[in-house]
Amino acid sequence: MSGHADLRAELVDTIAELVHPGDRDLLERVLVDSLAALVPGAGVALVRFEHGGEAWTSEVLHRAGGFSCTKPCTGCPDPGGLFATEPDVQVNVFSPMPRPGGCSLVVEIPFRHQLGRSFLMLSGRPMTDADERVVLGLSTIFKNYLDAISSAQIDGLTQLFNRKTFDERLNAIIEQRRQSATHLSDAERRHDHAGHECWLAVADIDHFKRINDTFGHVFGDEVLLLFSGIMRKCTRRSDLLFRYGGEEFAIVLTDVDAEGALATLERFRHAVETHRFPRVGQVTCSLGYTHIGGNEVPTALFGRADTALYHAKGIGRNRVCNYEALAAEGLLHGPTEDEDDVTLF
């Protein structure tokens, strides 16, 4: 009886932790760790599969319990042509044939704002019916809760974070860096932050009003959707992407030095410039960015990146400008955008 009581208590604790407010990465980690504890002897991993145009690629996002299958996309069987099918809206359980070193349970966890397809994979021992019920139950809780918080945090068109989430995440990053700076000596701070700076970039699609006026809002929305997709491909999973409003986007680059930040933003700008947008043709964007310190006021931080953006537009558009570099050269001016080309929010 004591064992059942302990299991019930552990399950309640797991559910409480799963529905605790947090970001997606934290929730995924909690799910994997909880299943490793509730299914003893099994290794658990959360794997994301994405289609790159020719083949599926995979990335193990989290693992626990000694998960042993390190290359799920090639080392695991494809149960029933799984990756050739369209994702369902519900949690699905697949039971591949157990084999040494392989997976004995594969669970797809789709949700409304999923990019690619995510799967829980369990290895190490055969799964019982009770095991499957535990995995399916927690996976369903995870999916439903993630859907609920995503609807409040995600822009409906682009599937990027929305303006409200931008304010929350930026404040959290600033506070985290402030606390880090408070507890470190100057030497430790320089060592800790070397190559691990954060940067805020603001990106704006050039002449977007003209696109809407010429081709209509349907094609304008398609440009926004494709633009956000290019942004995802040119950044890392650890970076934060936002639709700030209209045709204006924000990017928070994390754990990267000044050279890496510029390289990322230039890569994105070039990818947009060389992409052929249906019906519209060539589209360009301008970007301004600034360094995120630990003693920032969010509005002032955004204002610096926005000032650099306006400078980029004022000197010809389709370029990346850094606020600190412009300030050092004495080149900063107020907004120079033509009034009819500004979208007010």
pLDDT tens per residue, range 102-155: 677 888 876 555 556 788 888 888 888 888 888 888 888 888 887 777 777 888
pLDDT for residue 163:
92
**Residues in the chain, pLDDT under 50:** 1, 72-75, 77, 79-80, 82, 97-99, 188, 191-192, 335-345
Would you state the pLDDT for residue 21?
58
State in words which class domain 163-341 has.
alpha beta
Q: What CATH fold (topology level) applies to the domain 2-153?
A: Beta-Lactamase (3.30.450)
CATH 3.30.70.270 positions along the chain are 163-341
Which pLDDT value is given to residue 214? 95
- What is the structure's pLDDT at 222? 94
42-45: long-range contacts, CB 8 A cutoff, minimum separation 24: 42/104, 42/105, 42/122, 42/123, 42/124, 42/125, 42/127, 42/131, 43/67, 43/68, 43/69, 43/122, 43/123, 43/124, 44/120, 44/121, 44/122, 45/69, 45/72, 45/120, 45/121, 45/123
Residues of the chain with CATH 3.30.450.40: 2-153
**SS3 per residue for the chain:** CHHHHHHHHHHHHHHHHHCCCCCHHHHHHHHHHHHHHHCCCCEEEEEEEEECCCCEEEEEEEEECCCCCCCHHHHCCCCCCHHHCCCCCCCEEECCCCCCCCEEEEEECCCCCCCCEEEEEEECCCCCHHHHHHHHHHHHHHHHHHHHHHHHHECCCCCCECHHHHHHHHHHHHHHHHHHHHHCCHHHHHHHHCCCCEEEEEEEECCHHHHHHHHCHHHHHHHHHHHHHHHHHHCCCCCEEEEEECCEEEEEECCCCHHHHHHHHHHHHHHHHHCEECCCEECCEEEEEEEECCCCCHHHHHHHHHHHHHHHHHCCCCCEEEHHHHHHCCCCCCCCCCHHHCCCC
- Measured in whole angstroms, the distance separating CA 9 from the mean position of its chain's CA atoms is 33
**φ/ψ bin of 81: left (φ > 0), alpha (ψ from -120 to 50), beta (otherwise):** left
CA distance 319 to 200: 16
- pLDDT, position 27: 83
Q: Which residues are catalytic?
A: 247
* The predicted structure's pLDDT at residue 65: 84
> Nearest-CA neighbor of 112 among 86, 89, 83, 92?
89
Identify the pLDDT of residue 80.
Answer: 39
Confidence at residue 138, expressed as pLDDT on a 0 to 100 scale: 87
> What is the spatial distance between Cα 317 and Cα 150, in angstroms, rounded to a whole number?
33
pLDDT for 148 equals 76
Query: Cβ(174)–Cβ(269) under 8 Å?
Result: no
